[in-house]
Structure formats: C-alpha cells, structure tokens
Amino acid sequence: MPVVSNTNPQDRSKRGHFHFGLWLRLHGVDLITMAFMGALGLGIYEAPPAPNRSFPVYFQDGEVVYPQFAYPLRKEIVPIYAAALIAFLVPFFFFTLFQIRRRSLNDWLTTTMGLLKSLITAAVFQVFLKWLIGGLRPHFYAVCQPNVQANTAPSGTGFASLIYDRSVCTGDIDQIDDSLESFPSGHSTAAWAGLFYLALYINAQLKVMSAHNPAYWKMILMFSPLLGATLISGALTIDEFHNWYDVLAGAVIGTCTALVAFRQTFAAIFDFRFNHVLLPRSTSLFRRNPDSGAGIRSLFFTYHVTTEDLPVTREGGWGFGKEAFIGAPGDATVLVNSGQSGFGGGGNELVV
C-alpha cells in the first residue's frame, strides 16, 4: 500500500488541484440515489394514510375513551419546513465556517453530502412508517369531529360496538389524513438526523473528546446542536402535535442515520485519532480507479485527504506533528502501521 509521511512540515502545506468533474463521477451514483430517495419520500409524504385505522370515541356511559387525543388543534411552534431548514442550514454553516482552516472543496462537498445522506435517509424512513403505521395525534378528535353522540347506544363495530373508523369523521380531509400519521415525528427525525451529525462533526474537528483536555467552550459548542434538537422535539409535545413516543422514535431514527452517515464519510465516529479524517473514494460506476499504486496515490493527493487532512483545532499539538494518540479506542487502527502508536512523531506514517 502507498505510504504518506505525516512528519514533514512541508508535506502538510502541499495542496492538490481539486477536479469537480472527477468528484461528480466519483459521487454521481450517490447524487442520483439521493434524488430518487427524495422523490420517493415526497411521493409517500403526499399519499393518504395506507391503513384504515380504527379507534373508539365514547364509552357506553358517554365518557371519552382517549382524552389524550382530545386536545385542540393548535399552531405549530416550529413548522416542519423550519425544522428541515434548521437541520440542514445550521450544520452547513459550520461546515462552511470551518473551511477557513480546512480549505478543501472536497472536504466541504463530501461532508455536506454526508449530512444530506443522513437527512434524506431519515426522512424516507419516517414517511414510510407514517404511511404504513401512523397513529393518532393528540388533537385527533378535534380534527376528526366524529359524528358520534355521547350517552347514546354505541353504533360502531367490535366488542360492545365501541370501535369506529374515519368514516365517522366530518372534519377537513387533509387535516384528518395528517392527524392519522403521528408516528414517528418528522420534526424530531430531521432535527436529530442533522444536528446530531453536526455534534459529531464538531467533536471530531475540535477534539472535544480526545487525549488532550480541550477548552470548555468546545464542549458547550458540541452540545448546542443537541440542545437545539431536543428543543425542536420537545416543542411538539407543547403544541400537542405529537405524543412523546412519536418524538422518541423520530430521535432514534435521526440519531441512527447520523451515526451511519458520519461513519461512511469519516474514518471513525468517536476515535479522536481518525474521526476528522475524510474517507477517500477511488472508484464508482462512473470512475474506474487505476490499478497501479501510483494512480491511487495521485488520486488521493488530488483530493488532499492525506497530509492535509487535519482537524480545525490546533490544541493538543494538532498540525505541529505532536498529536497525542494514547488511550484511543481501536476503531480505525488499520490506518496506522502495525506496531506504531500513531502518526505525528518519531517517523510514524499514515497508510492510505
């Protein structure tokens, strides 16, 4: 395998020429797939609920069966479009801001693509669940306006004729469709898919969790996206657009897609030695990689993912050949020559 020394300060200043056409060929299949998934998600989002969900309204004595679904319809504190924009634009702002030091178009584009992978995958996942499973929103009865009278003999189906379907609803059809698709929360899914990805990125670039004790403000900055995602999610239980379990499910989906998308983009998630290292892509359907080692080395230098790929921070010796790698988890140790503790001192080398 080609080996690139990381101990020569002059190597760190070398910059290859970025070829946007080559980047498109390498990532073209991903872009097409993302467009397809986005169109699929939008189509499912616009489709009416698939199942014919049943629900009770009143007990035989006239008491409402599920008062937790009887809240009034309120205005959303955070509209869905605002949640989606925040989930993309806030991380994108930091990706762009950090380019002041990183200065790599490949890094900027590929990191943003990782974010979009997380957001799009999470969105399609949750709209499928909404469409095929769904559930009643807390304001369902107010939107449904069921044509069922209290303190009268039940006229539905099932045991004691207590169960009805949406045919008894007299409200707005679009609002009824929406009120039947509560699970999982789209707001929560988008917020965690985007902002958790950002938290991982900040941790990697500023080395919040590493072998060096960093400045406290870095920890605060890392947790800020998580606070934002929690506030967006929690607002849904205040305006009564979602049940708590809808919010939790959305957070789990978004967190999972963020973890996978980040690991696809970078060499590690929590291993501070490598979680800032952008993984190279050498082949795709539209770009066959040369078989020779020289060809591979040339391609990697073109994308400057070797000697230039340093985090934003310079604390702890980063960028000066004195990075500390002791006590790190073994997530990406294959990137380091066997028997060596890391690169950045004593002639150690990064294998690419």
Q: What is the pLDDT of residues 212-228, one digit of tens each?
A: 889 999 999 999 999 99
pLDDT at position 139, please?
A: 96
Checking if the pLDDT of 349 tops 50, the result is no
Distance CA 327, CA 316 (A): 14
Provide the token pair at 29.
């299949």
Long-range CB pairs of 97-100, under 8 A, 24+ apart, other chains included:
98/205, 98/312
Q: Tokens 């760190």 map to which residue?
A: 12
Q: 131-168 in b/e burial notation, b at 16+ Cβ within 10 A?
A: bebbbbbbbbbbbbebebeeeeebebeeeeebebebee
Stretch 11-30: mean pLDDT? 73
Report DSSP letters for 87-107, one per residue: HHHHHHHHHHHHHHHH--HHH
Alpha helices in 180-303 (DSSP H): 186-206, 216-238, 244-265, 293-302
Q: What percent of the chain has pLDDT over 90?
A: 58
Instruction: Dump pLDDT digits (tens) for 51-96.
Output: 888 999 998 888 999 999 999 999 999 999 999 999 999 999 999 9
Checking if the pLDDT of 237 tops 70, the result is yes
User: Residue 267 in contact with residue 274, Cβ under 8 Å?
Assistant: yes
Average confidence score pLDDT of the chain: 83
Instruction: Dump pLDDT digits (tens) for 261-310.
Output: 999 999 999 989 889 998 888 776 766 655 444 444 444 444 444 445 68
pLDDT at position 76, please?
A: 93
Find which of 116-130, 148-162, 204-218 is predicted with most confidence, using mean pLDDT: 116-130
> 284 phi and psi, to 5 degrees?
-165, 180
Q: Report CA dihedral (273, 277, 283, 287) to the nearest 10 degrees.
A: -170
> 58 phi and psi, to 5 degrees?
-120, 150
- The residue with greater pLDDT, 30 or 321, is 30
pLDDT at position 282, please?
A: 74
pTM of the model: 0.83
Handedness of CA 17, 21, 26, 31 (dihedral sign): positive
pLDDT at position 102, please?
A: 86
